[in-house]
Amino acid sequence: MLTSKLLERRWTPRSCLSPGRAAAKDGPRPSGARRRNGASCAPRSKQGFERFTLADVGEAAGYSRGLPAHYFGSKDGLVAALATHIVEDFGRGVARTEKHAAGLERLLGIVAYYFESAARDPLRTRALFAVLGEALTNPTLRKRIGNLNAHSAEPLAANIRAAIAHGDVRRTVNPKAQAMLILSGLRGAVSQWLIDPARIDLRVLSKEFAASLQRSLAP
């Protein structure tokens, strides 16, 4: 599983294994959890994705060098799986922490959680952004990342629709378009912080983002 512990250090065979477990080089086929673990053994996003191979990932994870190719098919498949795992894990985090009913308050809660999760685990966020950037020039990744983007925007759109129904957002707002603008704004703001954290206060950015969002959606 992709963890902060993994992303905070260089990938090695031991660091990519589940705690307390080791796998033989040519051991049995991995479980679903270990298959996901293969995605987490991609190199740190600081190094980029262009220089690693699926065989490297298999070796780093501690099992047969051929298994990543078997399960993910290609390096692009592994990179897409990495992005999917990060996004799905974000969704689980929102579900655990955000208790407001669907609507404007929940939308603002998701926005706040986006900034909080980036501050808590910047390397995970950097890895996601590296994959998103890769999709700009990689036709094989483009469709999968496009689908992932749509999946990421849908909870935002659903809460905008609920907020409109509650009278908290004006009815002329297009939920789908606004959701994509919010998602793009979140990614853009956080990416600026990742590039220059010394000059950018992420907490202030989060508060200003939420305030601007409320003003733009107000009835």
Residues 129/188, Cβ–Cβ less than 8 Å:
no
Residue 60, pLDDT score: 53
Region 157-168: what's the mean pLDDT?
Answer: 98
pLDDT tens-digit map of 71-120: 677 777 777 787 888 888 888 888 888 888 999 999 999 999 999 999 99
Q: Does this model's pTM top 0.85?
A: no
Predicted pLDDT at 78 = 75
- Residue 214: pLDDT over 90: yes
Q: Answer yes or no: are the C-beta atoms of 109 and 90 closer than 8 Å.
A: no
C-alpha 97/C-alpha 112 separation (Å) is: 11
Residue 11 CB partners (closer than 8 Å, separation 6+): 41, 42, 43, 44, 60
In the chain, CATH 1.10.357.10 sits at 76-217
The confidence band for 10, taking pLDDT boundaries of 50, 70 and 90, is: very low
Q: What is the pLDDT of residues 126-161, one digit of tens each?
A: 888 888 888 898 888 898 899 999 999 999 999 999
Q: Is pLDDT above 70 for 24?
A: no
The CATH number given to 76-217 is: 1.10.357.10
- Write out the two tokens for 156: 């935002």
For the chain, where are the alpha helices, taking DSSP H only?
4-7, 32-40, 54-61, 67-72, 75-97, 104-120, 122-137, 139-166, 175-195, 202-217
